[in-house]
Structure formats: C-alpha cells, structure tokens
Amino acid sequence: MGFLRLLSLPVRAPLLAVLFLVAVVLGNHWTVLQPQFTQHRGVGPELFWTLELLQVLVVVLVCTMPELLMRQVSLMMASSRVMTLVVTLLFVITAGIYLLRLSLLSDVLILASAVLLARLDLTRAGALPPPLPSMYLLAFVVFAGIGVGHLLPNPTAGWFAEVLISA
C-alpha cells in the first residue's frame, strides 16, 4: 500500500513532476555550457560537475529544511557578537563572490523556486515526510532529472537544430 502511494505521488502533487522537468532542462543546459567553462575558464569537466551538483545539493538542503538551518544559525549567532560578525561576513562575502563571478544565479533561482513549489505541493497533498526524508526525496528527483538531462542530446546541434533552422 505504501509503494502504491509513492507511485501515485506525481499525480497527487504534480509540481513534483515539474521539478523533475526543471532538473532535466537544467541538466541539459549545463551539459551544453560545460565545453565553454572547460575551454575559457580552465575548469575541468569533473570540477565543473562537482561544483554544479554541490550547488544543487545546497539549494535542495536550504529549500527543504529552512527552519532547522535557520534555528542552528540563529543559535550560533546568538552565542556572541563575534560569531554574528563572522557568520554575516562569511555569508555576505560568499554571496558577493557568487553573484559577481558566476552567471548561474538564474539557474539557482529557478531550481530553488521549483523545489519550494514542489515542497508546497507535497504539503498540500498531505504527503510531506519529515525534513530529512523530504530532502532525500527532492534531492533524488532533482539529481535523477539532471542525469536524464545530461543524457539528452545538445538541442543546438544535430537533426533537431537543422529542422528548426530550415523551417
């Protein structure tokens, strides 16, 4: 019975399927962008995919368990003014470097929006598990979508692009 409920989850919470499709598109988009990063910025393909998947994991973690993360950060910052300053500076510097150097902020915002909407839809359907299993579920959906998107062909090369250009 539990397995049947798990299989009917995309029907009860359709934004979970939208999250999967967003991940497929992002996986394909990152596959297309990978040669540019490896040639122009001197980043190896392994490092590129490691950073992208780490970024995805952080987005899913922050969007899935915000109350747990914020409580821990608040407790740490409340312990002393020095910790407040260190955490704030670390956050501002990291976010500043991220925003200035990487042009992938739109991908992060799209993914975060899709994860939050899927989480909201799971809550509406009454199928939201506790935070840790919920993070595993959403991370599995996102990583599976990225894997499928990585396997898709480049949309700007091949037969598909030739048909679009000739039309």
User: pLDDT (tens digit, 0 to 9) for every residue of the chain, 167 residues total?
Assistant: 566 666 677 777 888 899 999 999 999 988 888 887 778 777 788 888 888 888 889 888 888 887 777 777 777 777 777 777 777 777 777 776 766 666 567 788 888 889 988 888 888 888 777 888 888 889 999 999 999 999 988 777 766 666 666 65
Q: What is the dihedral of CA 15, 21, 25, 31, to 10 degrees?
A: 120
Q: How many CB atoms lie within 10 A of CB 165?
A: 8
Q: What's the chain's length in residues?
A: 167
Q: How many CB atoms lie within 10 A of CB 91?
A: 11
Which pair of tokens denotes residue 87?
């955490």
Task: Report the greatest alpha carbon distance in the chain.
Answer: 65
Q: How many CB atoms lie within 10 A of CB 147?
A: 12
Which pair of tokens denotes residue 88?
């704030």
